[in-house]
Structure 1
Amino acid sequence: MALIKLNPKSSLNKAFLKVKPNRLEIEKFKAYLIGLLDNINETESEEFHKNLISEFLKKTYYDPSYYINTKGNNDLVIHNGKDAKDSVAVIIEAKKPTNKVEMLKQENINTKGFHELVLYFLRERVIHKNHEIKLLGKAIEQSGAKAWFDVGNAISKVANKLPPKNK
């Protein structure tokens, strides 16, 4: 199974395309994105890069309305609300920039990073009974934060076909 490469415009929900951002928001987003990319350091750890991504997400949109942190073995999650008690909406898997073997690539998704995303999604869906999880791996990091994949829709379609867990 190979990933289909989409440009940002075609990957966005069509409802977002109808919203016209103001120039100030665009400039703010650009500044934070440049800061994120400038701070990528291939000699630093996975934890360092997770913190960069977390700060970027908080500054550009999510803070203070959505809580972002780790959850269990999940590298980063975005909750549906302001508290850690709120259900998980997005799971983010990150790897150290030099760890290219474990992170998925467009031509190969059969990697540890992808397997972890599927496992974390299924834990949320089956064990925690979280049917509010909207996207899985909305942002996956490879080579710092330079490559991002949205694999949520494909996994969600497969997971929705799973029979309910027997009690």
Structure 2
Amino acid sequence: MPFGVSLGPLDSLVGTVLEAFGGNLVLTIGLAATGLLTYWFLDEYRDANDTAEAIEGAGDRADSFFGGTIGAFGSLLTVVLTITVTVANQLLMTGSMLNEAIEAPALFGQAITGLIAFAGLKGLIPADPVIFAAIATLLFVLVLWARYSGGGSRA
């Protein structure tokens, strides 16, 4: 079963359905949702005067069926992205202030690269050389930006 969840007597049915779709749980859920929306649209289309009314009816049925789950997920995603952008902005501002304080962007960049390497050795970030190179390159660009833009005071 996916994610190690057991559904008791439904295990064989769920396993068969997943096997039919190549074991891809996301594909199976997407096809089921698409089929359900198509059914609701066709059911509403028979009683509707036009297509817009049928779409509105299918949307109302989907909204009542999912109970606002999609709206809640969108709100959660917005909050998580906002917090992530805020934290990243504060880290960049801290880096800019540290660069102004020590006035040695090469030393600052090497210290951060050393911290990334240490975190990779401890297993806190994946020890993949490509990921390490991408992080190091990003930090190198940020250090150069901080150095040649006046330490972030004009940014």
Q: TM-score, normalised by structure 1?
A: 0.27
Bigger strand fraction:
1
Q: TM-score, normalised by structure 2?
A: 0.28
Bigger helix fraction:
2
Answer 1 or 2: higher relative contact order, Cα 8 Å, separation at least 6. 1
Task: Please say which structure displays the higher CA radius of gyration.
Answer: 2
